[in-house]
């Protein structure tokens, strides 16, 4: 089931990004897998997606840097075609600690990676999709976090702050471009089984906290991917500036 639609997914070599790339490919989309460090994982994912007989490219780029983002989208224009969907998925967090233990450099890196990447990529997408610029419309889906609401005290206040910024960006941009055939929404994953918890220094974090989840389990990356795809699809055609919490009731 091939379509003429193209999706760019940032930070797509693992976790939620990889699961989202697989689902879009299964639905017939041409896929751009953006990644930064893991060349092997990106190529393995690309080979897997090519089995669905869709176009697929990998682009290694730091999407917190304007020139790298420009190169990413120029490559998509050249090799895949007209952009239909952007999924701003890239994000980092650091080792758990109290707020007063967070170093300035860490805070800057987390906000730069998580927020600037969303801003820069969304700007490129709008210039391609917006009817104001002659585009035919499209959808942007941002990957926020339940941390935007909880604040993640004693763990990742910097990460939570970055995701709060993503929420504000989502709402503001959605209202700006609503009349230009672009929809902008976000998902807020909760405790999801991905490698990001290892980055925080606690690989088994979900096991420790799952009793606090009303559904008594952690979520899967594929469950987040389904929500992302729905928000990007025409099945959510009258939804913009909205948020889907994928957190098992939290």
Give the model's confidence band at 2: pLDDT under 50 very low, under 70 low, under 90 confident, else very high: low
Per-residue pLDDT at 1 exceeds 70:
no
Number of H helices, E strands in the chain: 10, 7
Look at residue 87 and give its three-state secondary structure. Answer: strand
Beta carbons of 131 and 180 less than 8 angstroms apart = yes
pLDDT at site 192: 87
pLDDT at 201 over 70: no
pLDDT tens sequence across 157-193? 999 999 999 999 999 999 999 999 999 999 999 888 8
Mean pLDDT of the chain: 94
DSSP characters for 14-58? Answer: SHHHHHHHHHHHHTT-EEEEEESS-HHHHHHHHHHHHTTT--EEE
Task: Classify residue 55: in a domain, yes or no.
Answer: yes
118 in any annotated domain: yes
1: in domain: no
Distance (Å, rounded) from C-alpha 211 to C-alpha 144?
23
Question: Quick one: pLDDT at residue 118?
Answer: 98
pTM here? 0.95
Reported as a pLDDT band with limits 50, 70 and 90, residue 227 is very high
CATH code of residue 10: 3.40.50.720
What CA–CA distances, in Å, run from 244 to 58, 103, 185?
28, 32, 8
| Active site (catalytic) residues | 159
Looking at the 3D structure of the chain, how many domains does it have?
1
- Across the range 125-144, mean pLDDT stands at 98
The angle subtended at Cα 42 by Cα 37 and Cα 47, nearest 5°, is 165
* Residue 105 predicted with pLDDT over 90: yes
Please give the residue range of the domain that contains residue 17: 6-246
- Residue 184 falls inside a structural domain: yes
């Amino acid at each position: 089931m091939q379509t003429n639609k193209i999706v760019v997914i940032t930070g797509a070599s693992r976790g939620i990004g990889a699961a989202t790339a697989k689902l879009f490919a299964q639905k017939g989309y041409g896929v751009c897998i953006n990644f930064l460090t893991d060349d092997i994982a990106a190529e393995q994912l690309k080979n897997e997606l090519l089995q669905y007989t869709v176009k697929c490219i990998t682009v290694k780029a730091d999407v917190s840097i304007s020139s790298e983002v420009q190169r990413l989208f120029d490559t998509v224009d050249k090799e895949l075609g007209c952009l239909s969907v952007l999924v701003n998925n890239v994000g980092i967090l650091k080792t758990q600690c109290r707020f007063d233990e967070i170093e300035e450099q860490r805070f800057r890196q987390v906000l730069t990676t998580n927020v600037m990447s969303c801003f820069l990529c969304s700007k490129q997408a709008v210039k391609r999709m917006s009817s104001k610029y002659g585009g035919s419309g499209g959808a942007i889906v941002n990957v926020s976090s339940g941390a935007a609401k909880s604040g993640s005290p004693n763990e990742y206040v910097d990460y939570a702050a970055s995701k709060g910024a993503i929420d504000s960006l989502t709402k503001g941009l959605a209202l700006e471009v609503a009349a230009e055939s672009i929809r902008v929404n976000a998902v807020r994953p909760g405790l999801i089984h991905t490698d990001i918890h290892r980055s925080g220094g606690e690989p088994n974090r979900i096991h420790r906290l799952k009793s606090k989840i009303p559904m008594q389990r952690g979520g899967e990356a594929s469950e987040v991917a389904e929500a992302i795809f729905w928000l990007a699809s025409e099945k959510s055609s009258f939804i913009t500036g909205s948020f889907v919490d994928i957190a098992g009731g939290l």
